[in-house]
Structure 1
Amino acid sequence: MATHTSFERGLMILSEIADGGDTTVERVAQKLGMPVSTTYRYFRTMREHGFVQEDAGHYRPGHALLALSGRHLTQSHLAEVGTAVLKSIVDAVGETAVMVIRVGTQAMCLRRSEPDKAIKYTFAVNELLSLSAGAGPRMLLAWAPSDVVRAVLDGELPRYTEHSPTAEQIIASLSQIRATGWVVTRGELDPGAVSVAVPVFFGGEVVCSLNVAGPEGRCGSRSWIDSTVKTMNEAARNLTASLESVAPRHILREVRDDVRNLA
């Protein structure tokens, strides 16, 4: 590994945290070829200044890094407009709709809207679930950095139902999800539920997924799925346009590219 200044090493570490979202000192040290003790000193300083936050030895972006990268602005806007976007989907398809974001190696329900007839499903607002099961989380996994995918697949995969997928099934699905632009799962989080998700792109990245879930009896037909995907894709395009109107789409990509060029 080439010799880098202290500033360059700090930027490289920040880039790894921003990309991975949930990592450890040891993992970053190994990837960058740095001593663990040195890497830990950087993490300690970054934590003191709000660039990272720690939870039981795992580190994720802090408020300062989120603000710098533009992700804080993006997620704030998603939260602000999310309810209206999801309500438009619910009005069109008549089933529960949720907006899902990735938090490290987990999925979080950012916003949720449901009709009066809705069956109560597993995913509640602010709840964290694995990226491995369910259409919305799986969509985010399909577009996640490779380190995140490996961390999820190498970990213990929860079995929410008998239909929750294995690591082999997940691996087989990811390339197809990226190719088709949508995903359908059946009974992976809740028995008897059909779940459909599409991605929302901003600045070349998937910033969230839109997810509709309903019972197999109402939502299992191909015609319902096709109609729902069409509605959700329209909502996703509108959401991308809304994001582009409030934040320059190139900020996050340029910051990451500049940092990587230092290496």
Structure 2
Amino acid sequence: MTFSPTERALQILALLARAAEPVSARAMVEALDVPLSTVYRHLQILKKWGWVQEHAHTGLYEPGPMSVQLAHGFDQHSWLMQAARPELEALSSRTGESAGLLCFLHGHIVCLDLVESQYALRCSFVKGVARSTIRGASAKALLAHLPEALVQPLLVEALPDTADQPGNTAVMQFSACLQQIRERGYAVSEHEVDQGVWGVSAPVLLPRAQLIATVSLMAPSQRASHHITEWIQQTCLAADRIRQRLLHR
């Protein structure tokens, strides 16, 4: 696939945004399959505009100060965040658990917002962090409402052949699970992403099944076991209220 210079620059920004630590120019070359000279040319422009900064001692690259302004603008002015934040806070207050808003972006599950529980919870989701996964209620609720042409390659990559189960069988079983989630209207998981954590996730869908995000509630399995039906209902209602807010903006 051929990418324009603008797309190459955006690929570099996306790579830095998803990276857990600063990245070298040579690592970008390997990840993006482009010449080193091309990477440096784009980095110089991105540094000039403050989107990227270079560590003075290591020479590694990381997001620059302009990224902070963009993130702040998203939090303060995004139509989605303005509609979702009050409902996340209300859901967390009603249940006493952590409530998050997540979306699917270029093969990753991204946490857009998170209202944390007053109780300690070991959860992998962190605001602004992307995860490459098909596991967990949030991922399944999103995958269930994405186009099949987009989902199938992800499943094939994530569910390779094993000695006891061929890859195509695993993909078919997972696809059937996604169909059940579509029919039911929510996804539930336990111990899939974090041991001891239960989760439920309901999609925010606009007309013509346009997927915007998913609302997720996460809690320790022991506490959740006493409230499963209630919390599933509360999460679905929160997703629907966000949908209504978006429709009437």
Give the TM-score normalised by structure 1. 0.61
Following TM superposition, by how much is the alpha carbon of 1:130 offset from its aligned partner in structure 2, in angstroms? 2.6
Match of residue 50 from structure 2: none
Q: Note the alpha carbon deviations across 1:13-49, whole angstroms, 9 max, x for none.
A: xxxxxxxxxxxx2xxxxxxxxxxxxxx2xx42xx53x
The CA distance in 1 between the partners of 2:132 and 2:159, in whole Å, is 8
The CA distance in 2 between the partners of 1:192 and 1:119, in whole Å, is 9
One-letter amino acid of the structure 2 residue matched with residue 120 of structure 1: R
Does residue 194 of structure 1 match 2:198? yes
Q: Are the structure 2 counterparts of residues 243 and 184 from structure 1 closer, same or farther at C-alpha, using a change threshold of 3 Å? A: same
Following TM superposition, by how much is the alpha carbon of 1:168 offset from its aligned partner in structure 2, in angstroms? 5.3
Match of residue 157 from structure 2: 155
Following TM superposition, by how much is the alpha carbon of 1:185 offset from its aligned partner in structure 2, in angstroms? 0.5
Match of residue 90 from structure 1: 92
Q: Are the structure 2 counterparts of residues 226 and 54 from structure 1 closer, same or farther at C-alpha, using a change threshold of 3 Å? A: same
Give the TM-score normalised by structure 2. 0.65
Kept after mapping to 2: 8 A contact 1:105/1:151: no
Q: Are the structure 2 counterparts of residues 157 and 106 from structure 1 closer, same or farther at C-alpha, using a change threshold of 3 Å? A: farther
One-letter amino acid of the structure 2 residue matched with residue 101 of structure 1: C
Secondary structure in 1 matching 2:199: strand
| Unmatched runs of 5 consecutive residues or more in structure 1 | 1-24, 26-39, 59-71, 159-165, 247-263
Q: How many residues align?
A: 179
Residues 68-147 of structure 1: pairs in structure 2 closer than 5 A: 76-147=78-149
The CA distance in 1 between the partners of 2:184 and 2:114, in whole Å, is 25
Match of residue 228 from structure 2: 225
Q: Are the structure 2 counterparts of residues 190 and 167 from structure 1 closer, same or farther at C-alpha, using a change threshold of 3 Å? A: farther
Match of residue 235 from structure 1: 238
Following TM superposition, by how much is the alpha carbon of 1:131 offset from its aligned partner in structure 2, in angstroms? 4.2
Does residue 53 of structure 1 match 2:10? yes
Following TM superposition, by how much is the alpha carbon of 1:156 offset from its aligned partner in structure 2, in angstroms? 3.6
Please identify runs of 4+ aligned residues in structure 1 that moved more than 3 A: 50-53, 166-169
Of the candidates 162, 174, 177, which is equivalent to residue 173 of structure 1? 177
Choose between structure 1 and 2 for higher RCO, CA contacts under 8 A separated by at least 6 residues: 1
Q: Are the structure 2 counterparts of residues 117 and 203 from structure 1 closer, same or farther at C-alpha, using a change threshold of 3 Å? A: same
Match of residue 185 from structure 1: 189
Secondary structure in 1 matching 2:134: coil
- State which drifts further: 210-219 or 168-177: 168-177
Following TM superposition, by how much is the alpha carbon of 1:233 offset from its aligned partner in structure 2, in angstroms? 1.9
Secondary structure in 1 matching 2:78: helix
Match of residue 14 from structure 1: none
One-letter amino acid of the structure 2 residue matched with residue 244 of structure 1: L
Q: CA RMSD in A?
A: 2.6
Q: Are the structure 2 counterparts of residues 202 and 52 from structure 1 closer, same or farther at C-alpha, using a change threshold of 3 Å? A: farther
The CA distance in 1 between the partners of 2:117 and 2:222, in whole Å, is 16
One-letter amino acid of the structure 2 residue matched with residue 122 of structure 1: S
Following TM superposition, by how much is the alpha carbon of 1:237 offset from its aligned partner in structure 2, in angstroms? 1.7
Secondary structure in 2 matching 1:173: helix
